[in-house]
Amino acid sequence: MENFQSHTDSGNDVMSYDGFRQEVLKDYRIAVESREVSLLGRREVLTGKAKFGIFGDGKEIAQVAMAKFFKPGDFRAGYYRDQTFMFATGLATVEQFFSQLYADPDVKNDPFSAGRQMNSHFATPFVDEQGDWLDLADRMNITSDIAPTAGQMPRALGLAFASKVFRASGPTDEFAHLSDNGNEICFCTIGDASTSEGHFWESINAAGVMQVPLAVFVWDNGYGISVPVKYQTTKGSISTALRGFQKTELTNGINIYRVKGWDYAGMCEVFETALHEMRETHVPAIFHVEEMTQPQGHSTSGSHERYKSTERLAWEKEWDCIRKMRQWMIANGLAAEDELTEIEYASKQAVKQSKVKAWQKYMEPIAKQVNTAVDLLSQVEAEDEELHEIIRTLTADLKNNHEPMRRDVLRAMSKALLIAPTSPSVEQVMDYYEKLKQENRELYNSHLYNEGPRSALNVAEEAALIPYNAPTVNGYEILNRYFDELFKNDPRVFAFGEDVGQIGDVNQGFSGLQEKYGTNRIFDTGIRELTIVGQGIGLALRGLRPITEIQYLDYLLFGLEPLSDDVATLHYRTKGQQSCPIIIRTRGHRLEGIWHSGSPMSMIIGALRGMYVCVPRNMVQAAGMYNTLLQANDPAIVIECLNGYRLKEKLPSNLLSYTVPLGIPEIIREGADITMVSYGSTLRVVEESAESLAQLGVGCEVIDVQTLLPFDIHKSIVESVKKTNRVVFIDEDVPGGAAAYMYNEVLEKQGGYRWIDVAARTITAKAHRTSYGSDGDYFGKPNAEDIIEIVLEMMRE
């Protein structure tokens, strides 16, 4: 223990004995408090005050040890059992923990998620109310937790990778508030059973290849819910299974450490030395924390007595980490029995008081709503003799509800409005009812996207300037010149993916740019879409602007989980306190073969609500969308047309400043007989069809939606339908996919059904994947002949 120091108190000086003793006692107190939180939290769930509970009991000592070496600038990407770590770092209080357990929607009470996440899903603010990045280099940073097992791994890799990027960039004023020369570590926690997930293995492999400061703490209690580790992991040990990853002097790789979850002194010693080395070398590490216990079982949904033997339960009681730390302190003369008993009693009382305060704060605004609603309903009751008894019962039920919820207030008022619609006081009831609905929309339905100055919808439009003598070049050359200008002027931007660096991507958008701007800014990755997305997430969370390439749209599936579960929900689940302005660049639509011609747009718009989905028809339009997105904080996917890179386009003179507004369709051909709605590559087929139909006397109005998310925010497409009274939606997705989505948006949400004279149509690809070859493309995707035939049929009706 001679080398044990606390970064919180001792700096670089060896701590005095008394200082060391007090530090140990403080850690013990935090551990005891956290255990009491777990015990009382479970009780709150079982009594119905909380919906569900999952706790960190059994991990307390390992987490107070880990927290000692978490420094300002560091990041944590963890999972839902890290409450002790949060208490030990001072980033969470017990009261805040219970506020989240109760789902308190007041962000002042639950500052992690405003009641939107289950307990133990923590976060700290990364951006201010204006959307500007905070001084992340000078604060401890917690990325918002997600529940999918191992889902934190890709993000953790990216956060650690950002430190490497910052270090390679060198100290600059531009990044001073984001990083201290890349000295930051990403602390990642994961349960042992979750190391069986592919996310874990891909992330560890990538970390070992890239050599990034990723510290992975594996909490190993021998089970994955009820399944023993021998059924989870080769050789029954993740550290043993990973031995081939061990770094040597002549290879890259990771460092592997094994510690005992009850050994406070041993863990402090190993963590201190290993993490200090990691800050200097950026070599990643696995800390396999073994022999942990889980005193209350996996969660409140079941009992671990069902699957653990009597002998195992007895062992867990004997080797409980708090019990072992208590024995260690007494044996080493650091504390007396009565002193520890006093700490334990005081800790338990403090937790109870915090729990009560959290419940009171949660109930206070609801009680006020109940009182107001009861007063209003009592007035209705007094005025309406015929319905007196019914309203009185309704009012009494609300008033006598000892633990009401916001929904109970709204339900009571809604019933009263239905029962007594002509009461003289019904207008006051309606006003309060509508007021509460608006308040609750803000509490529960806001912030899916950025709503402040950094919203992509607030970016000013600037049209592309095309001089009369503008050169006509290939589409990929438009992008190449655009990216050249972008990287010259914006040091925040980085681009990477499979084949992006050396060869400049498969379609030459980055051709020659790696040589010009360096391998730190434009670079290749392995074939591993999941962690390519993870790299982008980490860079974006740390204030950079990654353009993260997925080579073909068909391969987005590999990276879809972190985009759907993590990126798309981030702004919502933190109520705007964290943003992830990642841009996923990919290409798709028409080409050749089952896995290079995909247009799975319905999958994307269904899974990625919370991201913007841009579907440019050409590369000038794509560049304008990139400009728009780079001025905002919202995440997005830009899907370039595979068959558009060699089509000729006029080169704009304002490449770096023109913008394409999101959610604003563009009429690219005017007509009076039928409205044709599409996007992307399909528009060229639609335009070909419209030209042929014009020769037959049919005037087609062709509309490019430009973005699917958001979709026509000003409801302009319906204005075209009012003129033509016919509408057809055309795309390359499967039947019932994105075309049906557009159909729903225009006919239902915009009320377009009122203006059509004949049944609207959707023209889509076939349900199967597209067959190989040009004929496969013709018979599998919408073709001009099919479109003409269906439009003529509609004109005859």
* Catalytic residue IDs: 596
Q: Which residues of 630-648 are buried (b: 16+ CB within 10 A; e: fewer)?
A: bebbbbbbbbbbbbbbeee
User: Nearest Cα to 30, choosing from 350, 349, 358, 347?
Assistant: 347
Let me know if 651 is exposed, middle or buried by CB neighbors in 10 A (0-12, 13-18, 19+).
middle
Structure tokens at 356: 């009560």
Name, in order, each residue with C-beta under 8 angstroms of 329's C-beta and a sequence gap of 6 or more.
24, 25, 28, 335, 340
Q: How many helices (H) and strands (E) does the chain have?
A: 26, 22
Strand bridging mode 255-260 / 227-228: unpaired
Question: What amino acid is encoded at 303 in this protein?
Answer: S
DSSP strand E in 227-382: where?
227-228, 255-260, 285-290
Question: 3-class SS at 162?
Answer: helix
Q: Please give the distance of CA 635 from its chain centroid, rounded to a whole number.
A: 10
Which residues, including other chains, have CB under 8 Å from residue 17's CB and lie 6 or more apart?
Answer: none
CA 378 to chain centre: 45
- Chain center to CA of 144: 8
In whole angstroms, what is the distance from residue 432 CA to residue 372 CA?
A: 9
Contacts of 382 (CB under 8 A, 6+ apart): none
Contacts of 489 (CB under 8 A, 6+ apart): 656
CA 672 from chain center: how many Å?
Answer: 44
DSSP letter string, 256-278: EEEEETT-HHHHHHHHHHHHHHH
- How many Å apart are CA 618 and CA 601, to the nearest integer? 18
Which H or E run includes 408? helix 406-419
Q: Which two tokens stand for residue 743?
A: 């159909």
CB-CB neighbours of 300 under 10 Å: 19
Residues 23, 265 contacting (CB under 8 angstroms): no
DSSP, residue by residue, 49-107:
SSS-----TT-HHHHHHHHTT--TT-EEE--TT-HHHHHHHTS--HHHHHHHHTT---T
Q: Which two tokens stand for residue 449?
A: 């996207």
Contact 539, 161 (CB under 8 A): yes
* Kind of pairing between the strands at 666-669 and 700-704: antiparallel
Q: Is 599 exposed, middle or buried (0-12, 13-18, 19+ CB in 10 A)?
A: buried
Closest CA to 152 of 61, 70, 214: 214
